[in-house]
Structure 1
Amino acid sequence: MTNAQVTRELSNGTAIPVVGLGVWQISDGAECERAVTAALEVGYRLIDTAQAYRNETSVGRAIRSSGVPREEIFLTTKFYPGGKDARVEAEKSLERLGTEYLDLYLIHWPQGGPTWAWPGMEAAVEGNLTKGIGISNFGADEVRELAKVAQIQPVVNQIQFSPFEYRRGLVETCEDAGIVAQAYSPLGTGRHLDHPAIAKLAESTGRTPAQVLIRWAMQKGLSVIPKSVHQARIEENFNVFDFELDDDAMASLDALDTTGSTSDALSKSGKWWS
């Protein structure tokens, strides 16, 4: 499908689709399998899970039964940093997923500091367990700290990102380091959909609020992974390739930021992974 071929090239030479399905908070079992199956049928080719989500088995089952060749699917999972060895945990993920390799393996958040788990991540690449490695929820300082010691540089930083959490400073730091930023919770886990400014733009463009939010993040250069378990919304979230937001619309969305264009991964004080 044409939409599935819209990608961004990563620094390791692979290409990541600009829209994917995130499966955070989707229960292991039939619900997760249905969501992944629906996404692949619509044309998604990026599926994002994590060890902490406890649904890798269902994701793998849906991928295998989809009929879509494995090499056409960009599969991401994340190392839970409560574990001790990222390489060992990658092997366990592959077992649960029922696949021989990952396309991307991320440190889920920088618990215990941003560098200690990286040798295990690099070992996962060297062991051909994953094509690429990256990070999630790393702020600019943590990105820079990791860059100093990494033998293999991260290719992605997955961050909370929407017009209301417009982490401009963090995205710029990532881009300067050759890291593609990826947006999770682009819809604010649903809470942004009813905002008057979003509704107004949706009406003027003839699109839905979700499509406006996803399109904004895409036009900022990010890969975007909205989550849904509803087939109609999964399809809606993917139908974002046939329109563009103009400069005025983009500027009005930019102005919704509540983070002060932060370079931090979290807006609130303190760190929830500590």
Structure 2
Amino acid sequence: MAANDAQLTRTLSNGTEIPLVGLGVWQVQDGPECERAVEWALEEGYRLIDTAQAYGNESSVGRAIRNSGVPREEIFLTTKFYPGGRDPHAEAEKSLERLGTDYLDLYLIHWPQGGPTWAWPGMEQASEAGLTKGIGISNFSAGEIQELLKVSQIQPAVNQIQFSPFEYRAGLVEACEEAGIVAQAYSPLGTGRHLGDPVVDRIASAAGRTPAQVLIRWAMQKGLSVIPKSTHRERIQENFGVFDFELDDDSIAALDALDTTRQTSEALSRDGKWWS
């Protein structure tokens, strides 16, 4: 993906365009903190906002979108079904009420608790009812994707995964691409852990960029949509400043070498699953 490439989106299997960079609001407190972050992001030019039922801040996201003055149709809005619930269709209706909108752009199964297939019929019902333009998954491994594809009537559009140079899940991204699923990176900065790495810092210094910009740009050049999270205005601005430069091959290779997963096709480390 060239630095001067005007294509700032990827086309999903349902024909809609997902922006390459968005704001994630995981662990952002409901209320003014969340509202400010979303409003700042939209003011900066972000058009992808990612929340979830489990985050408890959908109402704040919705208020911020309405207060921003940006037309709803210009915003790509994602939320996620909490798989501790029973009915994705019913829960999507509740999300829409909290968000104060008539539709979602993307509705994901947050993680494959209880197995990768049981919730999908309800996701398809939400799509068929017009509650969402697209449906997809999050934290699904390559094997779980294959199980889902055997029973799905509607193809998953996105698999949102933990992804950074340190969690370089190349096998999983490849499995997504082979299935026509766009991979989307969450925690591209390692919730801040990766910003102080000496390799990242060296590449950032050489490029005249910040470590966060290097990490986001790396994921973009791997073909992923990326959703960094921040509640600080200057960092929200910084994280969006990634469209006017490109990492060279040597920098990409140095970042690839930071991987700790052996380029896995798994969604999380063996001890990283928080569901049973």
For the superposition of Structure 1 and Structure 2, which TM-score range results when normalised by the shorter chain?
Answer: over 0.9
Write out aligned runs for 1:94-173 (5 A): 94-173=96-175
> 1:94 touches 1:100 (CA, 8 Å); kept in 2?
yes
Corresponding position of 1:210: 212
In the other structure, the counterpart of 2:49 is 47
Q: Please list, as runs of the form range in 1=range in 2, the aligned pairs for 1:169-248 lying within 5 A after superposition.
A: 169-248=171-250
Q: Choose the corresponding residue for 1:31, options 4, 22, 33.
A: 33
Judging changes above 3 Å, is the alpha-carbon distance between structure 1 residues 254 and 244 closer, same or farther for their aligned structure 2 residues? same
Query: 2:40 matched to 1:11?
Result: no
Partners of 1:101 and 1:227 in 2: how far apart?
23
Aligned to 2:77: 75
Note the C-alpha offset of 1:4.
Answer: 9.7
- For 2:69, what is the secondary structure of its paired residue? coil
SS of alignment partner, residue 127 of structure 2: helix
1:202-260 C-alpha deviation (Å, 9 max, x unpaired): 10000000000000000000000000000000000000000000000000000000000
Amino acid aligned to 1:220: K
Residues in 2 aligned to 1:263 and 1:100: alpha-carbon distance in whole angstroms: 36
Shift of 1:3: 10
- Counterparts of 1:4 and 1:98, CA distance in 2: 32
Question: How far is the alpha carbon of 1:272 from its aligned partner?
Answer: 1.8
Aligned-residue RMSD, C-alpha: 1.3
Quote the Cα distance in structure 1 between the aligned partners of 2:272 and 2:15. 36
Matched pairs, number: 273
**Is the 1:4–1:45 Cα contact (8 Å) retained in structure 2?**
no
Structure 1 runs (4+) greater than 6 angstroms displaced: 2-5
Amino acid at match of 2:214: V
* TM-score, length basis structure 2: 0.97
Distance change (3 Å), C-alpha of 1:39 and 1:141: same
Q: Residue 130 of structure 2 aligns to a residue in which SS?
A: coil
Residue aligned with 1:77, SS = strand
Which residue of the partner structure matches residue 68 of structure 2?
66
CA-to-aligned-CA distance 1:187-213 (integer Å, 9 cap, x gap): 000000000000000100000000000
Asked if the contact 1:3–1:43 (Cα under 8 Å) also holds between the matched residues in 2, the reply is no
In 2, the alpha carbon distance for the partners of 1:87 and 1:5 equals 33
- 1:96-145 deviation per Cα after TM superposition (whole angstroms, max 9, x unaligned): 00000000000000000000000000000000000000000000000000
How many percent of aligned residue pairs carry the same amino acid?
Answer: 79
Unaligned runs of 5+ in 2: none
CA distance in structure 2 between the partners assigned to 1:230 and 1:199 by the alignment? 21
CA shift at 1:168, angstroms? Answer: 0.3
Residue in structure 1 matched with residue 275 of structure 2 by the alignment? 273
Displacement, 1:5?
6.5
* CA–CA distance in structure 2, aligned partners of residues 273 and 127 of structure 1: 29
SS at match of 2:108: strand
Displacement of 1:269 in angstroms is: 3.4
Retained in 2: the 8 A contact 1:4–1:43? no
